[in-house]
Chain A
Amino acid sequence: MTAESKNQAIQLVVNGKTHRAVVAPQATLLELIRDHLGLTGTKEGCGKGQCGACTVLLDGKPVNSCLMLAVQAQGHQVVTIEGAEHEKELDPIQQAFIDEGAVQCGFCTPGLILSARALLDQHPHPDEDHIKEAISGHLCRCTGYSAIIRAIRRAASGGKS
């Protein structure tokens, strides 16, 4: 495809569902997710890759949706926080965040849960260093991180603290 027209027609899979959209070339993936698809669980903090609030999974891997053009997601699989639960059941990581009190204002939470999901998919039993590394692209202004780390550890050990 060497389309040079202004708006671009793209197709991508978001939370398991195929979507078609026509987007401006300069629209970010974050704008597509929030403004076109109405999935507002994904947050915009800094818009520059620093805070991780906009993190989504692209083909299972965490990326900053503020630093991707929507057109770059053409043909890819995207999971947002709205796609984390399974058949109305919370993901064990979501439940563990609740159980450990790892959510205060909640602005960082969607991104963190997705990074944690990607981690546990790769390493079901991560050690503390793995966990810290996996969440190092996220800023949380409220919790001081300890509860978040505990929550991820809890989810990894099947919900036990």
Chain B
Amino acid sequence: METFRYSVPRSVEEALHLIKEEGQAAKLLAGGTDLLVQMKEGLFRPSLVVDIGSLHQLRGIRKEEGFIWIGPLTTHHDLAHSALIQRHGLALAQGASKVGSPQIRQRGTLGGNIANASPAADTLPPLVVLEAEVQVSSLTGSRWVPVESVMEGPSQTVLRPEELITAVRFPVQEKGFRSQYEKFGSRRALSIAVASVAAGAYQEKGCVKKITIALGSVSPSIVRASQAEELLTGKALEQSLIARASTSAGQACCPLDDVRGSIWYRRQLVAALLARILQSWMNDE
């Protein structure tokens, strides 16, 4: 790793000043599980590393004003074990529990996962189906951006160099809402998703009132399976509908064709993963 100057800001404001002054050449450091690998590989050679890891005000999970609020420095371990997240956003707890390994989950953070913008990021499809938003702050103020619009492509986000993710929140859904995340990798631990599916739905007396389906790792960004969503809306879950919707989800994605899997393979996976989610919901009814 090449050398750099290292700063530990004591407040969000100080962090914002530091990244503003340094511009493109600064890098924020949270858990470091992406950044350190990237710096070791020479992908980034920041002149200044701004370690936000000890800004405790950016860590933690709470329920307030009809939202679940998550500090960006909250680790995957804490997300996976949070009763609030399990209750109101199960897909996110499941996504976080499938990141890397226990060691990675202990250090890796939600904000880092979002900002790193990998199409395979395990928290992104869950956040999309939970209709989560990200608070992006700079010295001139802050704005809320839907998670769905944060990522623009692999390693690309709408974040500007002088901006920091300062919060993530999703609405507490009404009764009848449920969400689930399924990931397929080459093995259970320490494998990046070949394909992943998150779904969030309102059901009333077995009927799907509203459903959101987000696919990970099959496209340069997270994509919605809109056709499958339409097929399912207003209907009761049954075998042939599940089969049609799942196939449609497989087709709807514009998959990556790479070393981890071909387009054909990924379409099959998406279909199987969505079917698994819908099947388990049907059996629960």
Instruction: Give A residues with C-beta under 8 Å from B.
Output: 1-4, 6, 8, 24-26, 28, 47-50, 52, 55, 58, 61-64, 66-69, 71-72, 74, 115, 133-134, 136-138
Contacts of A133 in B (CB 8 A): 102, 189
B102's contact among A2, A26, A62, A66, by CB below 8 Å, is which?
A62
Is B40's CB under 8 angstroms from A136's CB? Answer: no
- Which residues of chain B are near A55, meaning CB under 8 Å? 103
Is B104 within 8 A of A49, CB to CB?
yes
Quick one: given A67-B33, A136-B189, are A25 and B4 in contact (CB under 8 Å)?
yes
Among candidates A4, A24, A62, A134, residue contacting B7 with C-beta atoms closer than 8 Å: A4
By Cβ-Cβ distance, the 9 closest A-B pairs, closest first, are A137-B101, A136-B189, A25-B6, A26-B1, A137-B103, A64-B103, A67-B36, A4-B5, A61-B106
The CA-CA distance from A61 to B77 in the complex, in Å, is 11
CB nearest neighbor in B for A51: B190
CA distance in complex: A1, B10 (Å): 7
Pairwise interchain contact A8-B190, C-beta atoms closer than 8 A: no
Find A28's partner among B4, B36, B100 (CB 8 Å cutoff): B36
Contacts of A67 in B (CB 8 A): 32-33, 36-37, 104, 107
Inter-chain contact B102/A134, CB cutoff 8 Å:
yes
Quick check: A72 and B32 within 8 Å, CB to CB?
yes
**Given A2-B14, A136-B190, are A8 and B100 neighbors across the interface (CB < 8 Å)?**
no
Cα-based distance from A130 to B190 in the complex (angstroms): 16
Partner of A52, one of B2, B32, B103: B103
The answer to whether A71 touches B33 (Cβ under 8 A) is: no
CB-CB < 8 A to B5: which residues of A?
A: 4, 6, 25
Tally chain B residues at the interface, Cβ within 8 Å. 33
Instruction: Note all chain B residues with C-beta closer than 8 A to A69.
Output: 6, 29, 32, 36, 49, 51
A4 to B47, CA, bound (A): 11
A2 B37 Cβ-Cβ under 8 A: no
In the complex the two chains form, what is the Cα distance from A49 to B40 in whole Å? 12
B219 to chain A, nearest CB (A): 25
Q: Can you name 17 A-B residue pairings with CB atoms under 8 Å?
A: A2-B9, A8-B6, A25-B5, A26-B1, A49-B33, A52-B103, A64-B104, A66-B36, A68-B107, A69-B29, A71-B51, A74-B8, A115-B102, A115-B103, A134-B102, A137-B104, A138-B101
Cα A55 to Cα B33 in complex, Å, equals: 14
Q: B32 to chain A: which residues have CB within 8 Å?
A: 67-69, 72
Quick check: is B3 within 8 A (CB to CB) of the other chain?
A: yes
Residues on B with C-beta less than 8 A from A71 are 6, 8, 51
* Partner pick for A63 among B48, B106, B190, CB 8 A cutoff: B106
Alpha-carbon distance A98/B46, docked complex (angstroms): 45
B 169-210 to A, binary, CB cutoff 8 A, 1 in contact else 0: 000000000000000000011100000000000000000000
Chain B hits for A136, CB < 8 A: 101-102, 188-190
A residues in contact with B6, CB < 8 Å:
3-4, 8, 25, 69, 71
Which residue on A lies nearest to B36, using beta carbons? A67
> Which residue from B7, B39, B104 sits with its C-beta under 8 Å from A2?
B7
- Please, how many angstroms separate the alpha-carbon atoms of A143 and B103 in the complex? 21
Tell me how far the C-beta of A99 lies from the nearest C-beta in chain B, rounded to whole angstroms: 25
Confirm or deny: B60 has a beta carbon within 8 angstroms of a beta carbon on chain A.
Answer: no
Q: A115: nearest residue on chain B (CB-CB)?
A: B102
Q: In whole Å, how far is B257's beta carbon from the nearest beta carbon of chain A?
A: 24
Which A residues are CB-close (under 8 A) to B8? Answer: 1-3, 71, 74
Closest to A5 in B: B5
* Chain B residue, CB-CB nearest to A118: B102
A67 and B4 alpha carbons, distance in the complex (Å) = 16
Task: State the CA gap A124–B32 with chains docked (Å).
Answer: 30
- Judged by a CB distance under 8 angstroms, whether B53 is at the interface is yes
Which residue of chain B has the shortest Cβ distance to A114 in the bound complex? B103
> Chain A residue with minimal CB distance to B187?
A136
Residue from B29, B40, B189, B190 within 8 A of A47 (CB atoms): B40
What residues of chain A lie closer than 8 Å to B39, measured between beta carbons?
Answer: 26
Known: A49-B100, A71-B51. 16 other contacts (CB 8 A): A1-B10, A3-B8, A4-B5, A25-B3, A25-B5, A25-B49, A28-B36, A48-B37, A49-B33, A49-B103, A67-B37, A68-B32, A71-B8, A137-B100, A137-B102, A137-B104
